Amino acid sequence: MRKRLSLLLLCNLTIVLLASPAFASFHLMKIEEAVGGVGGDTSQQAIQLRMRLAGQNLVGSNQSRLIARDAAGLNPVTLIVFPSDVANSAQGSRILVVSPAFASAHPSIPGDFTMTSVIPSSYLPAGRLTFEDSVGTIYWSLAWGGSGYTGSNLGDLTNDADGNFGPPFASALPSSTNRGLLFTAADPTGAAASTTNLADYGLTTGAAVFRNNSGTSGALPLQADLSITKTDGQASAVPGSPITYTIVASNAGPDTVTGATVADTVPAEITGAFFTCSGTGGGTCTPVGSGNINDTVNLPAGGTVTYSLMGTISASARGSLGNTATVAAPNGVTDPNPANNSATDTDVLPGVDFFTVAPCRVVDTRGGAPLGGPVLQGQETRAFTVAGLCGISATAKAVSLNLAVTQSTSAGNVRLFPAGQTVPNISTINYTAGQTRANNAIVVLNPSGAMSAFAGQPAGTMVHVIIDVNGYFE
């Protein structure tokens, strides 16, 4: 009787040991990291498992599997039934499962297994991913989508003390960038169990890094949505007149870009081209340059660089004037939206003729001209409607003139430009205090036949302006 009891106790102990998760061959496994797409390509998916205890490598022998479900926890899609075991069974070892598109796009991150199906794109805003055995026991559950996920979070007690892996992670499974959804709870050895998906998981702070069972690891490429805009603030321009383009290159992130290229080949119709540049949000660029722009810039996420490209339109230019600026990411950086990497500004160059008039003083802030004083104050912008005066046609598009300054109380400059437009960076004339000086120019008029003069000198100082016209374009 005593012998039979001992044998019975031994058999029961054996059964308990064999049934204990600590002695299982694949049960103690967590879903450590997942991506539902890379750069908006939802065919590129990856799932990384991690062994909580040594000896959990027999995933194939037990036909374990990964299954995705929709926002209601329904409509299961089997992503893979593991066809074989993996070699490395040490605690903390990983198993990497990738989609065919991921394997093709990222050969430096070799997976251990290839998915036979991917997580449907409709499941990415809210859904569930489970690691199960062949009879449907859920050993790990990862749900996402916050309140958008309304399905079950329940699973086995093996890896979660109360069998409830919820509430789910608050946001969607990442797919539009290079970030991953990662088990971010403290887990130096891989032994950490589940508390809740909401508490345990977070997005990677940089590009997602994956590791396969042999220990080979790699990060997804840096990613940055670079864009560029370009405008001169007008739809038409007059040959012989100055022109200023504003070019802004930006980085919408998520990663910092070092060594992007901003380029602008100045058309032959623009002469004397030069540029200035400044950055915001940590953006850096070449401060000044001449001719074409071919600049290496640095753009943190959210940073910009802004160029002012200036020159003069050739007097013989006709038809239209087009100018294109581009921004390009350096090698090793993926731009998910290349459509916004180029910007073109086109102006119509009206078919204009030049008409001479007898030299006529149309503006003199000292008095004695059709348009007179008072004296122009430093930082003041004043409009002068010259069409219809001194023989200038009421429909003139631009005027040919001589600009003179005198009696300035400070060094500075005067800038002439179409009335109503932004003050340009190009000066029409520069001078020192007390200097009398003159310069020729062609100035575009606004539709009302007016130009503006800006006094680029300190407030509280003054300068007299004299303008003589000798012709107009129409």
Distance CA 327, CA 307 (A): 12
Distance CA 389, CA 406 (A): 23
The token pair that represents 40 in the structure block: 């908006």
Distance CA 211, CA 190 (A): 13
Q: Is the pLDDT of residue 323 over 70?
A: yes
What top-level class would CATH report for the domain 354-473? Answer: mainly beta
CA 195 to chain centre: 35
> Under a CB-based contact definition with an 8 Å cutoff, are residues 289 and 274 in contact?
yes
Alpha-helix runs per DSSP H in 304-359: none
Q: Is the pLDDT of residue 10 over 70?
A: no
Return the closest-CA partner of residue 337 out of 35, 41, 44, 36: 41
Largest CA distance in the chain: 135
Mean pLDDT over 95-119 rounds to 97
Q: Is the pLDDT of residue 23 over 70?
A: no
Residue whose token pair is 């990060």:
219
3-state SS, residue 66: strand
Lowest mean pLDDT among 86-95, 270-279, 338-347: 338-347
Residue whose token pair is 């008029």:
445
Residue whose token pair is 């998760």:
21
What top-level class would CATH report for the domain 224-349? Answer: mainly beta
3-state SS, residue 133: coil
The highest-confidence range among 108-122, 224-238, 424-438, by mean pLDDT, is 108-122
Report domain extents, the chain: 23-220, 224-349, 354-473
Could you give the dihedral angle defined by the CA atoms of residues 337, 339, 344 and 348, in that order, rounded to the nearest 10 degrees?
-140
3-state SS, residue 218: strand
At the topology level of CATH, where does 23-220 sit? Immunoglobulin-like (2.60.40)
Element (H, E) at 415: strand 412-418
pLDDT in tens, 259-294: 999 999 999 999 999 999 999 999 999 999 999 999
The token pair that represents 245 in the structure block: 């383009």
The token pair that represents 155 in the structure block: 């699973």
Asked whether this chain's domains 23-220 and 224-349 adopt the same fold, the reply is: yes
Label residue 332 by pLDDT band (50, 70, 90).
Answer: confident
> Under a CB-based contact definition with an 8 Å cutoff, are residues 447 and 404 in contact?
no
Mean pLDDT over 419-440 rounds to 91
Residue 182: C-alpha distances to residues 49, 167, 175, 420 (Å):
11, 16, 13, 55
Distance CA 282, CA 183 (A): 31
DSSP, res 39: T
Residue whose token pair is 């004299």:
466
Label residue 352 by pLDDT band (50, 70, 90).
Answer: confident
